[in-house]
Amino acid sequence: MKMIESLQLHVIIECFQCQHCGFQFPNLFQMFSFSLGCCIISSWRYISMEIGKRIRSYREKQGLTQGDLATHAHISRISLGNYERGERVPPVDIFLRIAQALHVSTDELLGYDPEQDELTKCINTCRNAGLIIDPFHVQALNNGVVGVYQNQETFEQAQQARTKGTPMPASIPIVTEAGFITAVKEGINNPNYQAAQKDLLKMYLYASILREYAKEDGFSNVNIEALKRGTLPLEVEEKITKRQNASKDFFDKLFECVHKSQNLTKETEQELAKQFHALVQEYQK
């Protein structure tokens, strides 16, 4: 059976096409990659049903009712029922909230098998050799999606959860405009707010840099001992420096807005979302 090697789903694209057989699927997610059997799947309903089964399975394992999970994910019970039955696929922001409410990573809800991925093997080799990056701990989760953990404790928790076969604590494999603004609002009264938000974006940036570098087969030429000493390839260091500098204006604007008012207006949220989107585009150049 042929496989779709890297099926990229983007909100801005109305449909995507299997590179092998030409079958077209509708799009409902943003920035996830996974493999599906093509020439066998005849409808999008198969995908939505599989995702729904996983949501229900994780919910039941944790002893949650539909009402419980719906409350935690800030959605209606009817909507959750539709998702679990495969009648609808949750939009990306709701999908992320469901994953967070279940304390699992999005790759698990999408049915990834990280042990099958070459990038996993590559980055895990670096990690097992003692690699700690700037100063986040990195783990490849699936096809090009990199989980980045802010400290040793969360990294070890994720490892223990996977070893025991229990739900894995959600990492940050993706940050969307909506997700970032949500984090901003939740962190307004946190004394460590500014540092926390900078770390959030930095984790996103570092994961994106690693994805770019890995796609270029850069890791095959990296010296493990050099990485253990904290020596990154020059092109990676240059990208990090460029992207950190590019974020300064954004954060200055963000903190100015927050300090003026404890309540972000809808207009301010929209403006910050636009700036974040532009910032991400700049980072991807």
pLDDT at 108: 72
| Partners of residue 26 on adjacent β-strands | 15
Structure tokens at 60: 């039941």
* Alpha-carbon span 53 to 89, nearest angstrom: 12
Provide the 3-class DSSP secondary structure of residue 4: coil
Judged by DSSP in three states, 137 sits in strand
- 258-272 per-residue burial string, b: 16 or more CB within 10 A, e: under 16: beeeeebeeebbeeb
Q: For 217-260, how does the pLDDT look when each residue is reduced to its tens digit (9 = 90+)?
A: 444 444 445 544 555 566 666 665 665 555 555 555 555 655 55
Q: What is the pLDDT of residue 24?
A: 35
Which residues of the chain are modeled with pLDDT < 70? 1-47, 107, 111-266, 268-285
> Cα(216)–Cα(214) distance, rounded to whole angstroms?
5
Correct CATH for 47-102 of 1.10.260.40, 1.10.15.40, 1.20.120.420, 3.20.20.450: 1.10.260.40
Distance between CA atoms of residues 245 and 197, nearest Å? 15
- CA–CA gap between residue 203 and residue 209 (Å, rounded): 10
Mean pLDDT of the chain, nearest integer: 55
In the chain, where does the domain assigned CATH 1.10.260.40 lie? 47-102
pTM (2 d.p.):
0.33
